[in-house]
């Protein structure tokens, strides 16, 4: 599944600082995750770093956007090239 940021976001920047692919950016009023860039930290960490550091649990799975492990690996490979 893809990740998304929900309305509980307090725009604290914690997720931005830990994102290895720079897929999270400020928007108004909450932050957003760029679907085409986010690899859910596949290749970088065991689990999404942003989810671990969010103080209000505002980063959740977007069940409307399923992604396979292969898709995430391709995004990771694109991010390191």
The pLDDT-based confidence of 75 (bands split at 50, 70, 90) is very high
> Residue 73 above 90 pLDDT?
yes
CATH number at residue 21: 3.30.70.20
DSSP state of 10: -
Per-residue pLDDT tens for 37-72?
999 999 999 999 999 999 999 999 999 988 999 999
pLDDT confidence of residue 14: 97
What is the per-residue pLDDT for 18?
Answer: 98
- Give the predicted TM-score (pTM) of the model: 0.90
Distance of CA 55 to the CA centre of its chain: 15
Residues of 35-54 as b/e, b for ≥16 C-beta within 10 angstroms?
A: eeebbbbbebeeebbbbebb
- Domains in the chain, number: 1
Domain range spanning residue 16? 2-79
């Amino acid at each position: 599944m893809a990740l998304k940021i929900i309305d509980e976001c307090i725009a604290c920047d914690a997720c931005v600082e830990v994102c290895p692919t720079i897929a999270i950016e400020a928007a108004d009023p909450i932050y957003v995750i760029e679907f085409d860039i986010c690899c859910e930290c596949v290749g970088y960490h065991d689990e999404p770093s942003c989810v671990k550091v969010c103080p209000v649990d505002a980063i959740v799975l977007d069940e409307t956007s399923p992604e396979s492990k292969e898709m995430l690996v391709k995004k990771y490979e694109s991010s390191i090239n």
